[in-house]
Amino acid sequence: MQITIAIPRPAADEHHEYYGAYIAKAPGDDLFEALRLTADSLLALVDGVGDSQALHRYAPGKWSVKEVLNHVVDSERVFGYRALAFAREDRAPLPGFDETAWTPAARSDRRPLAAIAGEFRAVRDATGWLFGSFDPDALVRRGEASECVFTVRALGWSIAGHTRHHETILRERYGLGG
């Protein structure tokens, strides 16, 4: 990926406060580094986890490790599309997505964990290319999704922070990595 500019953290008025919690979890001060670090860390965490262990749920009704990872992939695709639409000056408000409905519909537990991890790597690489294609004006364009206003760069930082959020859950609630 050719990186032409650094993408600093968004200001508080560039996103809904709910997403500020995700953005705060993203490491560093440059989006490309945050995307790289969070991808490498999450992939290292699930590397070597067997498919039977990846079916683990820390409590009844909670997602499996595979479902958590697939949710990260789905969310990144949605946030990436939102960033693309806003960068291209699409003014139509975008709908939310219901992760509680999407997760079982994905049937992630039927897939090898390595396949989901590979898909995550491919999507993250595409996210890097996407954000690398945006010029400074595109990065600060605003749009509406899930009845919230975001700038393009706030969506990128939300992707990185959302990944870190779920990595922390996998460590603390699922006992991975330790």
How far apart CA 139 and CA 137 sit, in angstroms, is 5
- Please check the confidence at residue 123 and state whether its pLDDT lies above 80: yes
Q: Look at residue 65 in the predicted model and tell me its pLDDT.
A: 98
Taking the model in full, what pTM does it have? 0.96
Cα torsion 7, 8, 11, 14 to 10°: value is 20
Name the residue range of residue 95's domain: 23-172
Task: Look at residue 126 and tell me if it is in a domain.
Answer: yes
**Segment 71-100, tens digit of pLDDT:** 999 999 999 999 999 999 999 999 999 999
CATH classification of the domain holding 161: 1.20.120.450
Q: Look at residue 124 in the predicted model and tell me its pLDDT.
A: 98
What's the whole-number average pLDDT of the chain?
A: 96
Task: Look at residue 9 and tell me if it is in a domain.
Answer: no
Task: Look at residue 177 and tell me if it is in a domain.
Answer: no
Task: Answer yes or no: are the C-beta atoms of 142 and 86 closer than 8 Å.
Answer: yes
Closest CA to 87 of 25, 153, 8, 37: 153
**Segment 28-71, tens digit of pLDDT:** 999 999 999 999 999 999 999 999 999 999 999 999 999 999 99
Q: Structurally, how many domains does the chain consist of?
A: 1
Task: Look at residue 13 and tell me if it is in a domain.
Answer: no
- Kindly list the distances between the CA atom of residue 77 and the CA atoms of 4, 55, 72, 135, in Å, as whole numbers in the listed order: 22, 23, 9, 20
